Amino acid sequence: MLSCEDIRLNLRSCRDGSYALSVHLRWPLTGRAEELRAIDAAMSDPDSAGVVVCGAAGVGKSRLASEALDSAAKKGFEVRRAVATSSARALPLGAFAVWTSAGLDNLQLVRGVIDSLTAAPQGTAVIVGIDDVHLLDDLSALVLHQIVQRRAAKVLLTVRDGEAIAPAVQDVWRNGQFERLDLQPLSADETTALLCAALGGPVEPAAARRLWKLTRGNALYLHHIVEQEVSDGRLVEEHGYWRWSGEPVVAPALIELIESRIGALPPAIGAVIDALAVGEPIELRSLARITTPAAVEEADVRGLITLERVDGAMEVRIAHPLYGEVRKERAPPTRLRRLRGLVAKELAAGDRRDDARIVVRRATLMVDSDLDPDPELFLTAARTAIRLDTPLAERLARAAVLAGGGMESQLTHCYCLVWHGRAAEAERELATLVEHATTDLERVQIAEQRAHNLFWTLRRPADAEAVLDDTGRQLTEPAARHLLAAPRAAIYADLGRPWQAVHAGTEALAEASLPDHLVVLASWGLVGGLGMVGRADEIGAVSTRGYAAAARAPNAAVMRMGLAYRHMIGLKLAGHLHEAERIALEARRESEDSWFPHSSLILLGQAALAQGNVDRALRWLREARASLDALGDLGGWLFRCRLSLTQALAMAGQVSAAKRALAELAENRHPAFAFLEPELILARGWVAAAEGALSQALVHARQAADLAADAGQLGYEVLALQTAVAFGDRGAADRLATLATKVDGPRAGVAARFAAALEAGDGAELAAASEEFERMGDLVAAADAAAHAAIAYRRQELRGSALGCSTRAETLAEHCGVSTPALRQASERLPLTDREREIVMLLGEGLSSPAIADRLTLSARTVEGHIYRAMAKTSTTSRDELAALLPRDKTRSHN
Amino acid sequence: MQAGQVADEPNEREQALRKLPLPYSLALTLRDAGVAPEMICEYVGIEEAALHGLYRIAEAKLLAARSLTRSRG
């Protein structure tokens, strides 16, 4: 959160004559600790004359030098600061004007300046700092030279890379004992750290990555762009995260800065930069044909471009992305259109013209060029772009429609519209397409898209079903009806009708001619249905087929994610929790470079939550929510995120936040995800439990189980009953034992053991169930079972065993970051003195009594005495049992 | 974590190297590979006189990144 001290507001004039507020942030120095230490060391080294800091404009030389001088002043150095500028350069001793006296000849003047600059009380060392030393006039250079030669002071100089430096100035550090520091731009991580510090909170990783790519770690450029984006409201804080929307606008001040850096360009060189600005990277020979070889060479000499060998060809890029942004800002649109056309033609003439990446580039260039539009190219490119960049795909598909691309282009465009947040518009367009469909296949394609859009995006499940039913009646070919079973399967599963989903999914997947994207939809349904009815052993094979089809589908990332979500849930319900985490991690890897990576964070969050790693779950889910809040509830991901977030907050014991999240969840229910109703009721149960309303929590868990049982969602029934038992329910053992014979996976069996042990008040069995839960990977259940074991032992007056179990429960709870009713009930402090505790800890490390005595310089007899008293106090019967009372980090291996 | 994945994980030094600004990690990697100093200067884009100082800062940054990795690990 930014405070008043962190920002300054200025009024600035706009192009239209109005005024707007400019934000100026406080930018701390980050990522320069090592450089500061190096300067500090040189200043304290009697053999060193000083430090010269070199680096590109804006990399942070002046700031570093200024901070180093501040630090030196605090340590007792006498510090003098001067700045050389081009205007002061015209005057002799211009940089040192403050230290000159009038009316003296040159020699006296120089002596006077040296004396003034180096004057200090006895025993105090002086440091002279000169910023932009390459701009020093000759006489000032002489002063500096003399100071260094006489060792009258240490000096700290900054020099900008690429500037002409007078030999007299260069001699200063060439002949002296200088440390040279070449300052490098900030890394991506350092840039993120700086952004977080300046903005006073975490920055969405994608935004930080984009800002780093644009500025390449140049701190000055970063300041300009971030302040402009904050002022204009494109970089905003939402739910504790800074999010950046839209394209950056290069502020006039930054344009001036960059133009002064790249200098006034002759038109021929400007053309090289402009061509690269619209279409980089460009192969060297192509660039030479679009412009001229001499201009390319000159741009290279001036350091405006970079050359890199890629796949045997030389690719040219602009040396800094902002040079291109500035040129684009200044160039007339007609010129940019012509240049895009020239680059597109060059790409079309190359050997790799049909590579997916090149096709997308050719089409993107062509859309805004002076070339005749090519609908086929636009459509092919749009379908390729859907994988990575749906907003771009939408532009390309629209161009294909406008260029007369027909039904295929219109369907692709509607699909892109949905994922571009314009679902209602897509539904209107799709509804009009129905009349133009001429084949059963086209009718199915339209119906499937409409159903998908109506169901998940527009939240109208009944209308989605009606569209599928109406279309089904119009079809004449049997194969087409099977195709329609695919979207039906996915819809049934999400509506919580698992058996219908299993039947429809099986029917669709039996159709040999099923297109890839419908194979995936059918797999969503079948995997979702099988997971819910408890047939988790079968979902692996179905998922494998689905993933293979998703990889070939045009919208692979989204299709794959939907399948991974249902796959992960099936595994979670069955209790295959490590496998569920693996699926989530794979989904993350697959989606990281797509335009919609946030959904995989929800999978990761849910998998972590199922394993009881609440801290980690909260981190992922919060990050996902921050991103999704901006995009809206695309495909119901925000609803799913909020659901898990509510549970996680409640399990973490963050009562107020959990209650707020639950209220938010209730206001934003997604009707398409009826299958999550048991989870929703469980979330209410967890919130009630966090508040301490245990009987209410129990009622919710039971309600969730009953609802799941009525719907045939046996997997959810097991999870709900397990939760009820953890809350203290003593009537679930029989049902769980029955369920354990009906559903796959380890969860039902362990939950049944847990329930039976709780009913019997059997501490040993509860402890055994806790171990089994831990092996399964459900650490919250393991903690709860251990807590119940402690309570049971305590009732039986088995104090040592009770302490052992409560210690285990606490250790697990601490690792998970949870606070549950059973844990709170079981917590009990150990009645040991500090010395006894120390000895018990060492016993736990495997040390013998003589070894402990040796370690603590006690007699073996004294140690034995402490052990005896500790066992008596804790009612333990063996040294192993005693050692197990103190927590050790046994769970870390699960990380 | 699957057992098979462990072998693919970069070691702690490599992880820390990846956190450094590219010129530093590049210079250290090339030096470790026995590349000649003048070649390293060309790759990194600095004068030879600056190479020693670059190594020094790079090593200090690497040390800091490694201790950070360890403390988070």
CB atoms closer than 10 angstroms to residue A255:
17
Domain boundaries, chain B: 13-72
Q: Is the CATH number 1.10.10 carried by domain B13-72?
A: yes
Query: If contacts are CB pairs under 8 Å, which of residues 273-292 in chain A contact chain B?
Result: none
CA distance B18 to chain A (A): 9
- Please say if the pLDDT value at position A113 is more than 70: yes
Strand A50-55 versus strand A178-182 pairing type: parallel
Q: Rounded CA gap, A45 and A38, in Å?
A: 11
- 3 state SS for chain B: CCHHHHCCCCCHHHHHHHHCCHHHHHHHHHHHCCCCHHHHHHHHCCCHHHHHHHHHHHHHHHHHHHHHHHHHC
Whether the per-residue pLDDT at A245 is higher than 80: the answer is no
Q: Which of residues 46-65 of A touch B (CB under 8 A)?
A: 54
Kindly write down the DSSP assignment for every residue of A139-191, as one continuous string. HHHHHHHHHHHHT-SEEEEEEETT----HHHHHHHHHS-EEEEEPPPPPHHHH
Please name the residue of chain A whose CA is at the shortest distance from the CA of residue B63: A34
Cα A289 from chain centre:
42
Chain B CB contacts of A619 under 8 Å are: none
Q: How far is B29 from chain A (nearest CA, A)?
A: 16
What are the two backbone dihedrals, phi and then psi, of residue A21, each rounded to the nearest 5 degrees?
-85, 135
* Window 127-156 of A, Cβ < 8 Å to B: none
Strand partners, A130: A82, A157
For residue B32 the two structure tokens come to 């470790």
pLDDT of residue A183 exceeding 70, the answer is yes
Distances in whole angstroms, Cα of residue A200 to Cα of each of A28, A190, A196, A206, A630: 11, 15, 6, 17, 20
Residue A895 has pLDDT above 60, yes or no: no
Furthest-apart CA atoms within chain A: distance in Å: 107
Peptide bond into A281 cis (omega under 30): yes
Average pLDDT, chain A: 87
Token pair of A110 as six digits:
């120089």
B54–chain A nearest CA distance, Å = 7
**A688 vs A163: which has the higher pLDDT:** A688
Closest B-chain CA to A583: B1
Surface of A (578-637) touching B: CB under 8 A? 582
Give yes or no for residue A149 having a pLDDT over 70: yes
Q: Residue range A118-139: average pLDDT? A: 90
Contact of A740 with A749, CB cutoff 8 Å: yes
Grouping H, G, I as helix, E, B as strand and the rest as coil, residue A628 is helix
d(CA A561, CA A543): 12
Looking from the CA of A354 toward its CB, the CA atoms found within 13 Å total 1
Facing residue for B56 by CB, picked from A33, A38, A187: A38
User: Residue A179: closest CA among chain B residues belongs to which residue?
Assistant: B53
Helix or strand (DSSP H, E) at A629: helix A614-631
pLDDT > 70 fraction of chain A, expressed in percent and rounded: 94
Q: For chain B, how many residues are written?
A: 73
A330 part of contact set with chain B, CB < 8 Å: no
- Round to whole Å and give the CA distance between A664 and A679: 15
Dihedral pair phi/psi, residue A416, rounded to 5°:
-65, -40
Cβ-contact A849, A866 below 8 angstroms: no
pLDDT at A346 (0 to 100): 93
* Residues of chain A contacting residue B61, judged by C-beta atoms under 8 Å apart: 34
Contacts of B3 in chain A (CB under 8 A): none
What is the domain partition of chain A in residue ranges?
Answer: 4-28+188-249, 33-182, 834-894
Higher per-residue pLDDT: A631 or A526: A526
Instruction: Specify the pLDDT at position A168.
Output: 82
* Residue A120 per-residue DSSP state: -
Residues of A in contact with B64 (CB under 8 A): 33-34
Q: Which residues pair with A315 in a beta bridge?
A: A283, A308
A679 Cβ neighbours under 8 A, 6+ residues apart: A643, A647, A704, A716
Rounded (10°) CA dihedral A780, A785, A787, A790? -160
Cβ contact, residue pair A33, B23, below 8 Å: no
Q: Which of B20, B23, B57 sits opposite A38 (nearest CB)?
A: B57
The pLDDT score that the predictor gives to residue A887 is 57
Inform me whether the pLDDT recorded for A50 exceeds 60. Answer: yes
- Chain A hits for B23, CB-CB cut-off 8 Å, are 184
Q: How far apart are CA A893 and CA A634, in angstroms?
A: 37
How far apart, in Å, are the Cα atoms of A881 and each of A661, A762, A797, A807, B71? 42, 18, 16, 11, 32
Long-range own/partner contacts, residues B34-37 (CB < 8 A, 24 or more apart): none
Find the mean pLDDT for residues A706-714: 96
Query: Which of A181, A184, A582 lies at the smallest CB-CB distance from B24?
Result: A184
Q: Is CATH 3.40.50.1450 correct for A33-182?
A: no
Mean pLDDT of A397-402: 95
pLDDT-derived band at A6, boundaries 50, 70, 90: low
The DSSP secondary-structure symbol of A250 reads: P
Interface contact A190-B21, CB threshold 8 A: yes
Between CA A787 and CA A793 the distance in angstroms is 10
Question: How does residue A890 score in pLDDT terms, banded at 50, 70 and 90?
Answer: very low
User: Would you call A795 an interface residue with chain B, using a CB distance cutoff of 8 Å?
Assistant: no
Residues from chain B that touch A179, judged by Cβ atoms under 8 A, are: 53
Residue A492 has pLDDT above 90, yes or no: yes
Is B19–A189 a contact, with Cβ atoms under 8 angstroms apart?
yes
CA distance A719 to A610: 10
Query: Does the distance separating the beta carbons of B2 and A180 come in below 8 Å?
Result: no
Q: How close, in Å, is residue A174 to chain B by CA atoms? A: 10
Q: Which residues of B touch A (CB under 8 A)?
A: 1-2, 19-24, 46, 49-50, 52-54, 56-57, 60-61, 64
Question: In Å, what is the CA distance from A838 to each residue of A841, A847, A861?
Answer: 5, 12, 16
Which residues are registered as beta bridge partners of A52? A157, A180
Radius of gyration of chain A (CA): 35
> Between A34, A182, A185, which is nearest B61 by CB?
A34
Instruction: Tell me the sheet residues that pair with A181.
Output: A53
Rg value, chain B, Cα: 14
| CA proximity to A117, closest of A138, A91, A143 | A143
- As a three-state string, the secondary structure of A407-432 is HHHHHHHHHHHHHCCCHHHHHHHHHH
pLDDT tens-digit map of A572-600: 999 999 999 999 999 988 877 666 678 89
- Predicted pLDDT at B6: 39
Beta strands in A284-426 (DSSP E): 305-310, 313-318
For chain B, say whether A217 makes contact (Cβ under 8 Å).
yes
Minimum Cα–Cα distance from A36: chain B residue: B57
Element at A332 (helix H, strand E): none
Structure tokens at A253: 């001040």
Long-range contacts of A374-378 (CB under 8 A, 24+ apart): A374/A403, A375/A399, A375/A400, A375/A403, A375/A404, A375/A405, A375/A406, A375/A409, A376/A400, A376/A405, A378/A403, A378/A405, A378/A409
DSSP symbol at A455: I
Hey, is A30 helix, strand or coil? Answer: coil
Smallest CA–CA distance, residue B25 to chain A, in Å, is: 11
Give the predicted TM-score (pTM) of the model.
Answer: 0.62
End-to-end CA distance of chain B: 15
Question: Counting one residue from A and one from B, how many pairs have CB atoms under 8 Å apart?
Answer: 39
- Pick the closest to residue A619 from A652, A596, A666 (CA basis): A652
- Give the C-alpha distances (Å, rounded to integers) separating A172 from A149, A156, A160, A718, A859: 9, 12, 16, 79, 70
Confidence label for A490 from pLDDT (cuts 50, 70 and 90): very high
Mean pLDDT of A565-572: 97
Q: Please name the member of A37, A184, A582 whose beta carbon is closest to the beta carbon of B21.
A: A184
- Comparing CB atoms, the residue among B20, B54, B60 nearest residue A182 is B54
The answer to whether residue A185 neighbours chain B at the CB level (below 8 Å) is yes
Which has more pLDDT, A789 or A871?
A789
In this prediction, the answer to ipTM > 0.90 reads no
In this predicted structure, the answer to whether residue B9 has a pLDDT above a threshold of 70 is no
User: For position B7, what pLDDT does the model report?
Assistant: 39
The dihedrals phi and psi of A178, each to the nearest 5 degrees, come to: -105, 145
The single-letter DSSP state of residue A317 is: E
Tell me: pLDDT of A634 over 80: no
pLDDT value of residue A242: 87
Hey, which of A19-23, A161-165, A612-616, A768-772 has the most confident mean pLDDT?
Answer: A768-772
What's the CATH architecture for A834-894? Orthogonal Bundle (1.10)
The model's confidence at residue A85, banded by pLDDT at 50, 70 and 90, is confident
Which amino acid, A539? Answer: I
Whether the pLDDT of residue A828 is over 60: the answer is: no
Question: Which of A180, A189, A190 is facing B53, going by the closest CB pair?
Answer: A180
Q: Please check whether residue A308 touches B, CB under 8 A.
A: no
> Do residue B23 and residue A184 have CB atoms under 8 angstroms apart?
yes
**B39 min Cα distance to partner chain A (Å):** 16
Looking up tokens 């079809």 gives A475
List of residues 6+ apart from A888 with CB closer than 8 A: A811, A844
* Interchain contact, A184 vs B19, CB within 8 Å: no
CB < 8 Å to A895, chain B: 1
pLDDT for residue A681: 96
Please check the confidence at residue A309 and state whether its pLDDT lies above 90: no
- Is A671's pLDDT higher than 60? yes
> Could B53 and A181 be called an inter-chain contact, meaning their C-beta atoms sit closer than 8 Å?
yes
